[in-house]
């Protein structure tokens, strides 16, 4: 396999790209604005503890999403843990396995047992039809994940949660700036949790936020993110250090101000990919519902081995050899990662759609660092791989190189 991959660098034996083209390269807004805000924080010496930039960031996000409360946190994972604690969840929580492992770790870290639910193979999000059979007397909540910026079936999940007296939370890490049924993601369920990690469409270097319309829920999160303090010397509950700092908020504010430009660039990239990938056997690009708003931050393809003549993993290796660092999100599924693989050894038997999708999905580079020419070259590589490769006993036949232009 190694020899075959090395043989693929078909322009004079060198990789197609001089620099890595990779998923998740950060979007950077107005650099001088970020630096100016950080300098101001340094001058005032207010670096954390609900500084002016954190408060402004929270206001901007809540206004944008049309939600009463935004509570900024140090990370999306911390936001999930705080939301789970504020909701009083315990026992078991139903969650998809096809998600970033941090979603499930947030539950396990708090002593909650994740109950893995299968996904809808068409949407890649948790399948409401599979949720009800998993509910037991120990179930306290459902944690849905809006994947690729495409929201879950919110209404179906809310109906199940309401009828079973369960709390519904959403991991909205992928869905900042997206909508569902004309309403912005942020106000669904008891609360939604966003990530502002460097790889997200809008970043705060590292950060997160919990959004909700529930006053008491927001107050609980605010108190717990600051060690349980409700005043200068009034500790009312167990808490932790989950605050966002002023430097992160400065970056977050600048990102929010540039979100329109980021999304416009992403959408242009997505449509360029869709055009260039058209007609390649076995390669299908994930579509978006044009009736709602999307951030287009994920360009997701599925690879059908029978039609493409090679597996997703083979294509992934070949692209990596050419310095196109595509990602196999979310392979192999949380249920096949530790500690869950050891704890729930047979759970994969009921996660057929999860395993099917996890073996075929590949995310391609996008964002403001990726140009139309980059996309054209990436798609040409994919077309070349499909046109010239075939699988023989789990190996790739070395490709015949095209004539150098």
Average pLDDT, the chain: 92
Residues pairing with 96 in the sheet: 117
Q: What pLDDT is recorded for position 136?
A: 98
What average pLDDT does this structure show over 167-191? 97
Residue 321 located in a structural domain: yes
Same domain, yes or no: 100 and 68: yes
Residue 334 located in a structural domain: no
* Cβ pair 233, 38 in contact under 8 A: no
Helix (H, G, I), strand (E, B) or coil at 381: helix
pLDDT in tens, 142-161: 999 999 999 999 999 999 99
Residue 273 located in a structural domain: yes
Q: State yes or no: pLDDT of 394 exceeds 50.
A: no
The residue assigned the tokens 């242009």 is 268
The domain boundary, picked from 224, 257, 290, lies at 257
pLDDT in tens, 1-14: 343 444 444 444 66
Same domain, yes or no: 322 and 265: yes
Same domain, yes or no: 56 and 88: yes
Same domain, yes or no: 283 and 253: no
**Which CATH number do you get for residue 311?**
3.90.1150.10
The domain boundary, picked from 257, 279, 304, lies at 257
Provide the pLDDT confidence category of residue 404 given band limits of 50, 70 and 90. Answer: very low
Same domain, yes or no: 102 and 145: yes
Same domain, yes or no: 204 and 290: no
* Cβ pair 227, 240 in contact under 8 A: yes
Same domain, yes or no: 290 and 228: no
Provide the pLDDT confidence category of residue 19 given band limits of 50, 70 and 90. Answer: confident
In angstroms, rounded to a whole number, what is the distance separating the alpha carbons of residues 181 and 49?
36
Same domain, yes or no: 201 and 227: yes
Same domain, yes or no: 204 and 163: yes
> pTM for this one?
0.91
Q: What pLDDT is recorded for position 379?
A: 96
Query: What DSSP string runs through 49-72?
Result: SS-HHHHHHHHHHHHHHT-SEEEE
The domain boundary, picked from 200, 229, 257, lies at 257
Same domain, yes or no: 221 and 309: no
What average pLDDT does this structure show over 165-175? 98
Backbone angles phi and psi of 349, in degrees to 5? -65, -25
Q: What pLDDT is recorded for position 23?
A: 80
pLDDT in tens, 98-124: 999 999 999 999 999 999 999 999 999
Q: What pLDDT is recorded for position 6?
A: 43
Residue 100 located in a structural domain: yes
CA distances (Å), origin 198, targets 203, 204, 205, 242, 317 = 5, 7, 5, 17, 25
Same domain, yes or no: 181 and 126: yes
Long-range contacts of 153-156 (CB under 8 A, 24+ apart): 153/120, 153/123, 153/125, 153/128, 154/180, 154/181, 154/188, 154/189, 155/181, 156/128
What average pLDDT does this structure show over 46-54? 96
CA distances (Å), origin 183, targets 88, 154, 188, 229 = 27, 11, 9, 34
**Which CATH number do you get for residue 161?**
3.40.640.10
The size of the chain, in residues, is 405
Residue 54 located in a structural domain: yes
**In 10-27, which positions are buried (b, 16+ CB within 10 angstroms) versus exposed (e)?**
beeeebbbeeebbbbbeb
Provide the pLDDT confidence category of residue 399 given band limits of 50, 70 and 90. Answer: very low
Per the structure, the count of domains in the chain is 2
* Cβ pair 18, 358 in contact under 8 A: no
pLDDT in tens, 343-386: 998 999 999 999 999 999 999 999 999 999 999 999 999 999 99
Residue 57 located in a structural domain: yes
Q: State yes or no: pLDDT of 15 exceeds 80.
A: no
Q: State yes or no: pLDDT of 401 exceeds 60.
A: no
Same domain, yes or no: 172 and 270: no
Question: Per the structure block, which two tokens stand in for 119?
Answer: 């996904």
Which residue range is the domain that position 278 belongs to? Answer: 2-22+259-326+365-396
pLDDT in tens, 292-316: 999 999 999 999 999 999 999 999 9
């Amino acid at each position: 396999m190694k020899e075959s991959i090395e043989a693929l660098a078909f322009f004079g034996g060198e990789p197609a790209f001089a620099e890595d083209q990779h998923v998740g390269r950060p979007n950077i807004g107005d650099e001088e604005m970020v630096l100016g805000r950080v300098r101001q924080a340094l001058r005032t010496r207010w670096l954390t503890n609900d500084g002016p930039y954190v408060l402004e960031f929270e206001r901007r996000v809540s206004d944008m999403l049309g939600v009463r409360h935004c509570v900024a946190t140090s990370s999306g994972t911390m936001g999930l843990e705080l939301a789970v604690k504020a909701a009083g969840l315990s026992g078991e929580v139903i969650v998809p396995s096809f998600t970033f492992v941090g979603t499930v770790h947030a539950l396990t870290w708090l002593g909650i047992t994740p109950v893995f639910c299968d996904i809808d193979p068409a949407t890649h999000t948790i399948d409401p039809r599979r949720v009800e059979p998993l509910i037991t007397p120990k179930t306290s909540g459902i944690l849905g994940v809006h994947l690729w910026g495409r929201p879950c079936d919110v209404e179906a999940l809310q109906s199940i949660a309401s009828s079973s007296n369960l709390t519904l939370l959403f991991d909205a890490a992928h869905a900042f700036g997206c909508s569902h049924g004309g309403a912005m993601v942020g106000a669904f369920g008891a609360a939604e949790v966003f990530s502002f990690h460097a790889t997200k469409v809008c970043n705060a270097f590292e950060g997160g936020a919990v959004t909700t319309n529930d006053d008491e829920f927001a107050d609980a999160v605010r108190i717990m993110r600051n060690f349980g303090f409700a005043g200068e010397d009034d500790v009312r509950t167990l808490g932790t250090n989950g605050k966002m700092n002023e430097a992160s908020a400065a970056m977050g504010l600048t990102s929010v101000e540039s979100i329109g430009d980021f999304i416009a660039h992403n959408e242009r990239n997505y449509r360029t990919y869709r055009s260039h990938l058209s007609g390649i056997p076995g390669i299908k690009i994930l579509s978006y519902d044009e009736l709602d708003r999307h951030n287009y931050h994920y360009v997701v393809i599925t690879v059908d081995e029978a039609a493409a003549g090679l597996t997703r993993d083979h294509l992934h290796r070949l692209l990596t050899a050419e310095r196109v660092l595509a990602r196999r999100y979310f392979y192999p599924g949380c249920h096949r990662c530790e500690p869950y693989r050891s704890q729930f050894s047979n759970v994969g038997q009921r996660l057929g759609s999860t395993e099917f999708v996890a073996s075929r999905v590949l995310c391609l580079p996008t964002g403001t660092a990726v140009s139309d020419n980059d996309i054209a070259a990436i798609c040409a590589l994919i077309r070349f791989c499909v046109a010239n490769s075939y699988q023989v006993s789990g190996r790739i036949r070395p490709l015949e190189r095209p004539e150098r232009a």
